[in-house]
A = this chain, B = another copy of it.
Amino acid sequence: MGITLRDVAARADVSVATASRALQKPAMVSTATRERVQQAVDELGYSPNRSARTLITGRTGVLGVVVPDLLNPFYPALLKGAQERARHHGVQLLLADAEETPEGELPLVRTLAPQVDGILLCSPRMGAKELDAAARLTRIALVNRTHTYLEAVAPNALSGVRGALRHLRSLEHRRIGVVGGPARSWSEGRRRRTIARAADELDVEVVDVGHFAPTVEGGRAAAESVLVLELGAVLVYNDVMAIGLLAALRESGFRVPQDISIVGWDDIESAAVTDPPLSTIRVPRREMGAAAIDALVEDPAAHQDGLTWRFESAFVARGSTGRARRAGD
């Protein structure tokens, strides 16, 4: 790793300054010089020391990504999209797991901020005040969340919910249970409102099943309420919970979709391979990850308005939804 610009300059018989310019601002040097420098670079296998450049320019060429929990199956696809896009932009990704502690998020941003050009906050649990603080430290983009002046990438749930409800209605369901996620979660609130709106449009009744942990266990826990309420169809906060619910219902001797129809949310990978495969509302996670990186890389001039990028979600009909046992259920 000992080859510096000095060496290159010496070999090309120019000054360090010229060598630097030949590489950074090719237009500023003559063609002949540029070629000589380039040749020296190739021969020596020179690669610039990023820290030195960063020290001057203040840009690190690295973006941070904070996810609440790497084990949450929602994030891998998002990371994949982000990573592809980052590579495309010639930028690296610094990964951090907030370990589901909302109080931990801001400190995390604090340590990350000096080392990156911007941070992607995925479904941050932190409050508005903390977001403000974060934004003061570095450029921020949000996923699955909006905040007045910050750039954000979020799904447009309406299309998907509409599709799901329409589908259920066509199967004679009129009374649809909603299994909620954590009560205080930002997306829970949003999703509820969207469901209410779509249900209103489509004239179906929404029954609140309650709030549950966004885990397989949480889904299992919802089973009892679902049965007590004698629901024929439920829309679940996310696929992981839907999978838990599916398992619990099966264990209680209920058949899906013959007895109960289940619609999940997110379309995580395993939703397609459950038995029956899960009907769900697909959220384009990969595209969202990619868009978020674009937002961070782009000229901060557009930062002004704090654009929100909306991604259409769509209902995906699979095997977990079927005709209501009693019409109107």
A binding-site residues for B, Cβ under 8 Å: 1, 47, 49-52, 54-55, 58, 60, 62, 65, 69-71, 73, 75-77, 79-80, 83-84, 87, 92-97, 99, 110, 112, 114-115, 216, 243-244, 247, 250, 269-270, 272-275
Whether the Cβ atoms of A50 and B114 lie closer than 8 Å is yes
Give which listed residue, B47, B69, B269, contacts A114 with CB less than 8 A: B47
With A50-B115, A55-B49 in contact, is A269–B71 under 8 Å at CB? yes
Residues of B within 8 A of A1 (CB): 58, 114
Taken together, the copies of this chain in the complex come to: 2
The complex places the Cα of A49 from the Cα of B113 at a distance, in Å, of 11
Give which listed residue, B55, B97, B114, contacts A83 with CB less than 8 A: B97
Main secondary structure of the interface of A (DSSP, over half): helix
The complex places the Cα of A147 from the Cα of B47 at a distance, in Å, of 27
Residues of B within 8 A of A274 (CB): 273-275
Whether the Cβ atoms of B114 and A95 lie closer than 8 Å is no
Whether the Cβ atoms of B71 and A77 lie closer than 8 Å is yes
Residues of B within 8 A of A84 (CB): 97, 99
Whether the Cβ atoms of B76 and A80 lie closer than 8 Å is no
